[in-house]
């Protein structure tokens, strides 16, 4: 009985973090999504591990793309501000 209750509780907590991660990802809250997927992965459910890894990977790619775009914007601003060398 206790094992069944623990398994059910684990499943509910895993589902909670997985769904919460999906909501964060949908809303553009990438760091929070990654945190939720990490927590779900820590629970060690082998059946959901693949899906969670893909979702976390998606969130990591979105974060990397956002950093790239910020870097690109900073380079553009710097080029506008800094004097250019004329040859």
Q: Stretch 15-37: mean pLDDT, rounded?
A: 95
pLDDT of residue 18 exceeding 80, the answer is yes
Q: Is the confidence at residue 87, as pLDDT, over 70?
A: no
The secondary structure of the chain as a DSSP string is -HHHHHHHHHHHHHHHHHHHHHHHHHTT-HHHHHHHHHHHHHT--HHHHHHHHHHHHHHHHHHHHHHHHHHHHHHHHHHHHSPPPP-
- The CATH number of 2-81, from 3.30.530, 1.20.58, 1.10.8, 2.60.40, is 1.20.58
pLDDT for 4: 85
Tokens of 30: 């990438």
Token pair, residue 45, equals: 């459910």
């Amino acid at each position: 009985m206790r094992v069944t209750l623990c398994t059910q509780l684990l499943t509910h907590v895993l589902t909670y973090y997985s769904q919460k991660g999906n909501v964060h990802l949908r809303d553009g809250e990438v760091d929070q999504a990654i945190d939720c997927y990490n927590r779900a992965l820590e629970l060690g459910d082998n059946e959901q591990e693949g899906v969670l890894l893909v979702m976390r990977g998606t969130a990591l790619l979105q974060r990397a793309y956002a950093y790239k775009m910020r870097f690109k914007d900073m380079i553009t601003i710097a080029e506008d501000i800094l004097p250019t060398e004329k040859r």
